[in-house]
Chains A and B, each alone.
Chain A
Amino acid sequence: MASEKVKTFTDGNFDDETRQGVVLVDFWAEWCGPCRRLAPTVDALASEFDGRATVAKLNVDENPSVPGRYAIRGIPTLLLFKEGQLAETIVGLAAKEDIAKMIERHLG
């Protein structure tokens, strides 16, 4: 169960939602085991950074366009945007502390 602090992005709202601030997007799918493992971490980060950074998920099954644009061919993948620009990428599983450090680096 995703935390209510985690936003849901789609092909339709992606550009608007990532335009401002620091935004972490978790690319995932229902059938991806490691994505399910990462989900509680993403939930926790959404609470931790509430009000300072946006944390969102994008389902690659339902939204093929954005993953195509960023040449995503493996999930989970985390993309970090700052003011609409792609700033960092993490492919595969990562520890909550490491993802938090990455977000902090861009909050400055």
Chain B
Amino acid sequence: MTTGAHPDREVVIIGSGPAGLTAALYSARANLKPLLIEGLEAGGQLMLTTMVENWPGFRDGIMGPDLMTEMRVQAERFGTEVLQGNVASVDLRNRPFTISLQDGRNITTAALIIATGASARWLDIGSDRKLSGHGVSTCATCDGYFFRGKPIAVVGGGDSAMEEAIYLTKFASKVIVIHRRDTLRASKIMQDKAFANPKIEFVWDSEVIDVTDLTKGEVTGVVVRNLKTGVKSQIALDGVFIAIGHTPNTALFRGQIDLDANGYIVTHGGTRTNVPGVFAAGDVQDHVYRQAVTAAGSGCMAAIDAERYLEGLPSVDDAVAVRPNATV
């Protein structure tokens, strides 16, 4: 392995959601002068939300975009350099690691923290993506406005689907929730809110197999199939909001670090990946909790793990492992 070249940076962080910005905050306070590359969806998924009521410390809640602005300014205050741009490719096989940006610049770094998060998943039927921006959306807070007084559907049965459905009742005449099962996956509190809302109706055991009308270039309805009876039916609608989960943004790293069957980065001993010096935090490595606060927590862990790596210290994991035998 050829090294020798002095890297441009000690720590580079890719991603600017709660995980990336918390990693930046901690790295900056450890005097590592981190560079944070924002990426296309800067600020992460919270930028697409309205009121966040489960971020500790804000008893009345805080608006998602406001929370992200605060996190960013806080990280910058301690010396984080934020770069607006997108990563085109990475080389994690040679050291220092090289990050190539879409504008052609290359940055080398001794340690890398991956916090690229996850993006909304589409239906995989083709017509939904083609009608994106013309009635199909994955962002209720962005596009709900265009459906005042109109009937729309939300596809999905989790917390995000219920949040979107409830939010969209502010605009739509009617919100039909289309779900593959006969029960919701959403938390009890969200289910109760959705069931109590007179504008929300449910279509159970059904999957969307087509969004019409491609020739018109706008949404006129959906075709659903009942998974129990096999019966197909058409529902006339003006809009379709898709809330069926997320896929991790790991295409950049495929073949260079270990991913699980669903494309999530595999971490062990805290936030370490299989490549020493590369750490992962937030939704890119977590398909279980997927909360802003857990993402932020793992961002903090990644910064501490990276700092220990750079100092040549045993990892936190090793430190914990030897403690029982240590003499006090």
Chain A residues in the interface with B (C-beta under 8 A):
29, 31-37, 40, 60, 71-75, 77, 89, 91-97
Contact = CB atoms under 8 A, between A and B. Distances in A.
Given A33-B43, A93-B40, A73 B142 contact: no
A40 B42 CA distance: 12
Contacts of B48: 33-34
A73 B86 contact: no
B103 interface: yes
B218 A40 contact: no
Given A71-B217, A73-B137, A37 B143 contact: no
A104 to B, nearest CB: 15
Contacts of A89: 133
Most buried by A among B40, B132, B136: B40
A73 B217 CA distance: 11
Contacts of A94: 40
Given A33-B142, A91-B133, A73 B147 contact: yes
11 contacts: A37-B43, A60-B145, A71-B217, A72-B133, A73-B137, A74-B133, A74-B142, A75-B142, A75-B143, A91-B134, A97-B86
Nearest to B142: A32
Find the residue from B42, B219, B239 having the highest chain A CB count within 10 A. B42
Interface in B79-127: 84, 86, 102-103
Contact of A97 (B41, B102, B139): B102
A75 B145 CA distance: 10
Contact of A74 (B41, B42, B102, B143): B143
A31 B145 contact: yes
B141 interface: yes
A66 B222 CA distance: 26
A73 B84 contact: no
Nearest to A72: B133
Nearest to A44: B84
Contacts, number: 70
Contact count band on B: 20 to 34
Interface string B266-301: 000000000000000000000000000000000000
A91 to B, nearest CB: 3
A85 to B, nearest CB: 16
B132 A34 contact: no
By Cβ-Cβ distance, the 8 closest A-B pairs, closest first, are: A91-B133, A74-B133, A73-B146, A33-B47, A74-B143, A71-B218, A97-B102, A33-B65
Contacts of B143: 73-75
B248 interface: no
A40 B219 CA distance: 31
Nearest to B103: A97
Contacts of A31: 141, 145
A83 to B, nearest CB: 22
Interface string B179-212: 0000000000000000000000000000000000
**Which of A33, A60, A96 is packed against the most chain B CB atoms within 10 Å?**
A33
Interface string B201-239: 000000000000000011100000000000000000001
A92 B134 CA distance: 11
B157 interface: no
B218 to A, nearest CB: 5
A93 B41 contact: yes
Given A71-B217, A73-B146, A95-B102, A37 B42 contact: yes
A102 B118 CA distance: 27
